[in-house]
Amino acid sequence: MSDTSPSGPRWLTLIGIGEDGPDGLGAEARRLIAAAPAVFGGARHLELADTLITGERLAWQSPFEKSVEAIVARRGTPVVVLASGDPFLYGVGATLSRRIAAHEMRTIPAPSAFSLAAARLGWPLQETACISLHGRPLDLIRPHLHAGRHILALTSDETGPQALADLLVANGFAETRLTVLEALGGGRERVRSTTAARFDFDAIDPLNVCALEVVAGRAARALPYAPGLDDALFEHDGQITKREVRAMTLSALSPRHGELLWDIGAGSGSVGIEWMLADPSLRAIAIEQAPERAARIARNAAAFGVPDLALVEGTAPAALAGLPAPDAIFIGGGGSEAGVMQAATAALKRGGRLVANAVTLEMEALLLAEYAARGGLLTKIEIARPAPVGGMSGWRPAMPVTQWRWIKE
């Protein structure tokens, strides 16, 4: 690759380095490290490249943004950044690319921890779920837990594998095969396997990847892919959008890549949670006025593997002030309160979808008025379930739901 681009010199070089240190680097990477006036990286990276570095050594600062600023301040002069494996796979490359244009940098990646683990196990990467739990909640693995699934999970430290085994056992995946691959690519490399239920490894290297061959017990908490999850999977006090109505609500909300949902009057958080489960790029804010329900939403979000669900404890419309503009809004509770509908429709982005469900006459009257004034789509949802009638059975209807869907022009 040329040292210059049509827009100027490539002053920043990102170099992936493995546990084998300089032995695993090509001649160009070695030359660039040796010639760099400044080399940034973690303490481990700087130690691995110790024999090559002749310039200033700059270990990552805390908070990390300080190091980013220090790199940006050197714009135009040669800088090398050392990273683990592929800098653009859960790495520093993504962070730096938010401040530095692609034409200003070059990248020389090394095999990622996922690639090395897949090579050791003989697992096709395109058929394997790869997830980073490094510095992130362990709960993020929950949506991936399905029988027969292969998962590679990068952990934060030596405690990660045991915590992962405990989560598997607690959720009905005790017989899952758990392989810990430590310090891959270096002299300390070690690979050990057992089941989650029998996990008892000690002296685990902090640099490790866990490989899961998922085995689901009869009562395993496997989260289906389709919307409309069983109500029993949620912790709730009865204030929950029931599964059939929830499935229709998610369909009406029509989640698309990278969008943000406001769930106003979130109750148990079920709609916002299922919105986020549809794709990892989706975000949601649950607005709930009752403290006990807000706490319940947080617990549900963790249990469903979407711990990043944002939570605002307060009463709409006041609680909506200052929130980022939504691409979609769901109003499941409190929509008949003064000013809520007006605030929601005003905040919604152009082309965004608003879906509101009514079970009370007051809320239904409001939706009928909004439909008359703004148009959109009205749907009546009626569900019935069998119930005892004497010695026989009959249909017992649930409360009907009026749903209004509106797209902002």
Residue type, 406: W
> Locate tokens 């709930």: which residue?
288
The CATH code for residues 4-110 is 3.40.1010.10
The CATH code for residues 114-213 is 3.30.950.10
User: What residues does each domain of the chain span?
Assistant: 4-110, 114-213, 231-407
Edge-first strand listing for the sheet containing 208-213: 129-132, 150-154, 208-213, 177-182, 190-195
Answer for the pair 288, 311: CB distance below 8 angstroms, yes or no.
yes
- Token pair of 238, please? 């009865």
DSSP 45-103: HHHHTTTT--SEEEEPPSSTHHHHHHHHTTTTS-EEEEEES-TTSSSHHHHHTTTS-GG
> Locate tokens 């069983």: which residue?
230
DSSP 167-223: HHHHTT-TT-EEEEEESTTSTT-EEEEEESTT----S--SSEEEEEE----TT----
Q: What is the pLDDT of residue 5?
A: 47
Answer for the pair 277, 250: CB distance below 8 angstroms, yes or no.
no
Q: Residue 46's closest CA among 21, 14, 71?
A: 21
Question: 316: left (phi > 0), else alpha (psi -120 to 50), else beta?
Answer: beta
Q: Is 335 exposed, middle or buried (0-12, 13-18, 19+ CB in 10 A)?
A: buried
Q: What is the pLDDT of residue 251?
A: 97
The Cα 344–Cα 348 span in angstroms is: 6
Answer for the pair 260, 326: CB distance below 8 angstroms, yes or no.
yes
The CATH code for residues 231-407 is 3.40.50.150
User: Could you tell me which residues come within 8 angstroms of residue 209 by beta carbon, excluding any fewer than 6 positions away?
Assistant: 113, 114, 116, 117, 152, 153, 154, 155, 180, 181, 184
Answer for the pair 323, 312: CB distance below 8 angstroms, yes or no.
yes
User: Could you tell me which residues come within 8 angstroms of residue 391 by beta carbon, excluding any fewer than 6 positions away?
Assistant: none
Q: Residue 153's closest CA among 173, 175, 135?
A: 135
The Cα 358–Cα 287 span in angstroms is: 17
Q: pLDDT tens, position by position, for the chain (409 residues)?
A: 455 544 557 999 999 999 999 999 999 999 999 999 999 999 999 999 999 999 999 999 999 999 999 999 999 999 999 999 999 999 999 999 999 999 999 999 999 999 999 999 999 999 999 999 999 999 999 999 999 999 999 999 999 999 999 999 999 999 999 999 999 999 999 999 999 999 999 999 999 999 999 999 999 999 999 999 999 999 999 889 999 999 999 999 999 999 999 999 999 999 999 999 999 999 999 999 999 999 999 999 999 999 999 999 999 999 999 999 999 999 987 677 889 999 999 999 999 999 999 999 999 999 999 999 999 999 999 999 999 998 999 999 999 999 999 999 9
The Cα 92–Cα 112 span in angstroms is: 13
Q: What is the DSSP letter of 375?
A: -
Name beta bridge partners: 79: 12, 38
- The CB-side HSE value for 343 (13 A sphere, CA atoms) comes to 20
Q: What is the pLDDT of residue 6?
A: 47
What is the sign, positive or negative, of the torsion defined by CA atoms of 133, 303, 169, 162? positive
